[in-house]
C-alpha cells in the first residue's frame, strides 16, 4: 500500500453519495478511510476504490457506536493524519406527520444524524488541526423547508446545520474549517426508502455531484469555512 500524503475519512462511504465522494478523493491522491454498516458491501467498495487511489481502509459498523468512530480515526492516524472528514452517514427514519411524532424514532435520528457526526468530529479535531483540515457535513433541503412528513428528519438536519456553523466559528482560529453541502435529490437507497414503490429513475445518479466535489477540494479550506453549498444548483455559488 502506497503511503498517501493526504488522508480523508468518509462515513457512509460504501455506496451512493459517500462512495462517489471517496472515489473523487482517491482520484486526487488521498488515502481514504471509508465507513459503512454492511461489511460485505463495504469490502466490495474498498476493492473498487483501490483502483482509484493510493490507499483504502474499510471500517465496518454503525456510526452511532463509539468504538466504530474511534476505529475510523485510528485508521486515519495509522495512514499518517487527517486532512478531510466527510460526515455523510445518515438515517432517514420513517416518513410521517408530526401529530404522530415518535420520540424513540426521533431519538435514533438525532443519534445518527447529529450526535454521531459531532462526536466523530471531536475525535478528529486534533488530527485536523495538525493539517489545517476540512470538515464536510452533508445536509438536505429538508433542513430549511417544511416538507409534510419530513419533519423529524428535517429537524435533525437543521440541528446539524446550526452545529456546523457554530463549529466553523469555534475552530477558525485553529485553521480547521467546516462546511455544509446539500447534494440535492439523487437516485440513492435513502431516496428510494423515502418513496417506496415509486420510480425515482428521473433523479440523477450521485455522480452528478462530482464536479462540485472536485471544485470544493481545490479550495483552501479557510476560504470556504462556514459556507453552505448546493451541489447541483446551476446558479450555485461554487460555479461562479
CATH of the domain at 147: 3.40.50.720
Stronger pLDDT, 204 or 140, i.e. the higher one = 140
Whether 147 is catalytic is no
Q: Is residue 38 part of a domain?
A: yes
CB-CB contact of 142 with 157 (8 Å): yes
Q: Does 75 map to a domain?
A: yes
* Number of domain units in the chain: 1
46 assigned to some structural domain? yes
The pLDDT value given to residue 185: 82
Nearest CA to 16 out of 99, 89, 94, 125 is that of 89
Identify whether 114 is part of a domain. Answer: yes
Q: What is the pLDDT of residues 86-97, one digit of tens each?
A: 999 999 887 889
Give the max Cα distance, the chain. Answer: 54
Q: Which domain holds residue 58?
A: 6-239
Q: Which of 22, 35, 60, 153 is catalytic?
A: 153
Percent of the chain whose predicted confidence (pLDDT) is above 70:
89
Residue 1 lies in a domain: no
> Is residue 123 one of the residues assigned to a domain?
yes
Q: What is the pLDDT of residues 48-75, one digit of tens each?
A: 999 988 999 999 999 999 999 999 999 9
Residue 190, pLDDT > 60, answer yes
Question: What's residue 110's pLDDT?
Answer: 97
The answer, yes or no, to whether residue 198 has pLDDT greater than 90, is no
Amino acid at each position: 500500500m502506497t503511503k498517501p500524503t493526504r488522508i480523508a475519512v468518509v462515513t457512509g462511504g460504501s455506496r451512493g453519495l459517500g462512495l462517489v465522494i471517496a472515489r473523487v478523493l482517491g482520484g486526487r491522491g488521498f488515502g481514504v478511510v471509508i465507513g459503512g454498516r454492511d461489511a460485505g458491501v463495504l469490502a466490495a467498495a474498498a476493492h473498487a476504490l483501490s483502483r482509484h487511489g493510493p490507499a483504502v481502509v474499510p471500517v465496518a459498523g454503525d456510526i452511532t457506536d463509539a468504538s466504530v468512530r474511534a476505529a475510523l480515526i485510528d485508521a486515519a492516524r495509522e495512514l499518517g493524519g487527517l486532512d478531510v472528514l466527510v460526515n455523510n452517514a445518515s438515517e432517514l427514519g420513517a416518513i410521517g406527520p408530526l401529530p404522530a411524532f415518535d420520540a424513540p424514532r426521533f431519538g435514533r435520528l438525532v443519534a445518527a444524524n447529529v450526535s454521531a457526526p459531532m462526536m466523530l468530529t471531536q475525535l478528529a479535531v486534533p488530527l485536523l488541526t495538525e493539517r489545517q483540515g476540512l470538515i464536510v457535513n452533508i445536509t438536505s433541503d429538508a433542513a430549511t423547508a417544511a416538507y409534510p412528513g419530513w419533519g423529524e428528519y428535517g429537524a435533525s438536519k437543521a440541528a446539524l446545520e446550526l452545529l456546523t456553523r457554530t463549529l466553523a466559528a469555534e475552530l477558525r482560529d485553529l485553521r480547521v474549517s467546516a462546511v455544509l453541502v446539500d447534494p440535492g435529490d439523487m437516485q440513492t437507497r435513502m431516496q428510494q426508502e423515502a418513496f417506496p414503490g415509486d420510480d425515482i429513475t428521473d433523479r440523477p445518479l450521485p455522480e452528478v455531484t462530482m464536479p462540485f466535489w472536485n471544485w470544493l477540494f481545490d479550495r483552501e479550506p479557510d476560504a470556504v469555512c462556514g459556507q453552505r453549498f448546493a451541489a447541483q444548483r446551476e446558479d450555485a455559488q461554487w460555479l461562479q
